[in-house]
Amino acid sequence: MAAVRFALQVSTAMSTSFFHVEERWHFRVLRMRSEDGTNRLTRSRVLALTGEIERLAQEPQPLVITGNDRFFSAGAELQEIGALDGPTAYAFAKMGQALMARIERFPAPVYAAISGYCMGGGLDLALACRHRIASPTAVFGHRGAALGLITGWGGTQRLPRLIGTGHALAMFVAAAKVSAQQALDLGLVDALAPDPVTRAGQQIRAGAARGSVVAE
């Protein structure tokens, strides 16, 4: 009976070319999507996500942000970055910081459910979430240094706080990739699960049963 009731309560809240939002029992799932499947954080996508996070915050429920089996997000669009000069680079950084701040300050728990590649700005987004659950095949990295770039979206502050300065420098400066198991060992993710969205939902429902769904 519970499974039937859960199925009946799933409905589409919002759907765009950038993401799809589902209402589920006690939480929402925001699934990023793109034509090529990489879910790059283009200027348009970042602005659209910022607006949607603000909308969802008006009636807060726990939120699960995810991508597809191959990519959580490949990060920022390099062609856009290559076209930036000083003033536009500053504006681009502030735009990304605004999205991450809204996720970090969301009035209910936010989970990153990560499968596949979580790179660059995509890792910044995951770091802004309160919880991170990864599939065993997830891969993490900040490859900007290999291209002469460094993130301006808050990852340089959040990652060292989470895994320590030494490990963070290896990811930022040496552009080291980290496997899902390594991420768990480092404390970058909270848990591994074959289906991270399902695991996040289980944790949210357990919190709801304890009466702590907002504060968890």
Instruction: Give the DSSP per-residue string, the chain.
Output: -HHHHHHHT-EEEEE-SSEEEEEETTEEEEEE--TTS---B-HHHHHHHHHHHHHHHTS---EEEE--SSEEE--B-HHHHHT--HHHHHHHHHHHHHHHHHHHT-SS-EEEEE-SEEETHHHHHHHHSSEEEE-TT-EEE-GGGGGT----SSHHHHHHHHH-HHHHHHHHTS---EEHHHHHHHTSSSEE-SSHHHHHHHHHHHHHHTT-TTT-
What does the pLDDT read at residue 145? 65
CA distance 73 to 79: 16
CA nearest to 84, candidates 34, 142, 149: 149
What does the pLDDT read at residue 76? 85
Options 3.90.226.10, 3.40.50.1820, 3.40.50.300, 3.40.50.720; which CATH number does 2-209 get? 3.90.226.10
Which of 87-94's residues contact partners 24+ apart within 8 Å by CB, and which partners? 89/152, 92/43, 92/152, 93/152, 93/153
CA nearest to 184, candidates 153, 154, 162: 162
What does the pLDDT read at residue 5? 34
Residue ranges covered by each domain of the chain? 2-209
- Taking the chain (216 residues) in runs of 10, the rounded mean pLDDT of each run is 35 72 93 95 94 95 97 88 77 91 97 97 96 98 72 88 94 91 98 98 87 53
What is the pTM for the complete model shown? 0.88
CA nearest to 216, candidates 198, 207, 111: 207
What does the pLDDT read at residue 196? 98
What does the pLDDT read at residue 210? 77
What does the pLDDT read at residue 216? 53
